Structure 1
């Protein structure tokens, strides 16, 4: 079964920009054989990652991600089946965001901003809302 998983976590201070480069490089190498695609939004203090792939692969991957010492307090905010991938060719797209000034690629509504704040706080669990909003960071 094809599924998605979204989590938010707190980026630790030991996760430097060089460490971010290592994370993204590892994703691009490791995710292809697992047939995992997705995106990672990150700031100096937060990670939001959306991954899609086989359901069991994603839960195994999330178990591994939770143990990574470069972040803490991971919270799964959405997990469930999907009919098709929204990032089919990205082993891991990424975008750095400013913690205090989120820049969306497309126009967003006040409601979208509220949903995003709930995502950042680990409070939004409606998968469709999460997926739709995260695509606004990457698709024009």
Structure 2
């Protein structure tokens, strides 16, 4: 039986992690996450990453171990992790936002309602969520 789990981490974006490498990360998410039933959100700035990963506990923890060893990340810090009852991003195999840019890219099929929720979140309106993981996200987006 699947144990639904959420993990939120932040990390430093290495200087040699350019736009091509970001596209490689997203391509990997698009290829691998659906088969592992992993959903979430990746946010980047020029210097930082924040990612929310949701799915089966073993899959999520396995992915976080790979991320810790990924040379594109430095100083991976787990900010939140715990068993959860439901996903925050049930249809997002990996949404992506570069906070320093205006475009939003969704690496999964997503409804218009989910897109509106995401856009509101990126504008800082996540008041509807009472979740420690989302509080980390709110803090990161506000930086």
TM-score higher than 0.5: yes
Partner deviation per Cα, 1:20-59 (whole Å, 9 max, x = no partner): 0111111111111110000001011000000100111111
Does residue 30 (structure 1) correspond to residue 32 (structure 2)? The answer is yes
The equivalent of 2:49 in structure 1 is: 47
Q: What TM-score, normalized by structure 2, do the two folds share?
A: 0.73
Q: What TM-score, normalized by structure 1, do the two folds share?
A: 0.75
The equivalent of 1:105 in structure 2 is: 123
1:1-140 equivalences in 2 (<5 Å): 1-98=3-100, 104-107=122-125, 128-131=131-134, 134=137
The Cα RMSD (Å) is: 2.7
- Could you tell me how far apart the structure 1 residues matched to 2:59 and 2:35 are? 11
1:104 shift after superposition: 3.6
Distance 1:6 1:107, change over 3 A: closer
- Could you tell me how far apart the structure 2 residues matched to 1:7 and 1:106 are? 19
- Could you tell me how far apart the structure 1 residues matched to 2:54 and 2:125 are? 25
**Mind listing any 5+ residue stretches in structure 2 that lack a counterpart?**
101-120
